[in-house]
Amino acid sequence: MIRIPCPFCGIRDHSEFTYGGDGSITYPALDAPLQEWHDAVFQRENICGVQTETWHHVNGCRMWILVDRDTMTHEIHAVRPAHPDLAKALESSS
């Protein structure tokens, strides 16, 4: 079981979270061409090593977070709120 240090709730079991997906994707603008959307939605890397992923603390604070996780070892290197303003606020308060 992975234990995820939620920036809002502390260390919790991964069963409290749902996995989102690749957190490094920048989604195109809604009116961007089909090809850009195609690449963002379907062309994904299958990373062996550390990747940034989105997780949702669905049975907790309901916040989406970005997790840098090693796909080989499950080691988590960093966790931060997905919402950039919240991330900034947490950073400046710590």
Task: Using CB under 8 A, list all residues that contact another protein.
Answer: 1-3, 13, 18, 20, 27-34, 36-38, 40-42, 54, 56, 58, 62-64, 73-75, 81-85
The CB-of-25 to another protein minimum distance in angstroms stands at: 9
Specify the residue, 30 or 45, whose C-beta has the smaller distance to another protein. 30
Q: Please give the structure tokens belonging to residue 15.
A: 């069963």
Distance (Å, rounded) from C-alpha 70 to C-alpha 14? 15
HSE, CB side, 13 Å, CA atoms: give it for residue 16: 18
The CB-of-91 to another protein minimum distance in angstroms stands at: 15
Q: Of 64, 70, 66, which is closest to residue 51 (Cα–Cα)?
A: 70
Specify the residue, 51 or 54, whose C-beta has the smaller distance to another protein. 54
Specify the residue, 47 or 82, whose C-beta has the smaller distance to another protein. 82
Distance (Å, rounded) from C-alpha 18 to C-alpha 25? 18
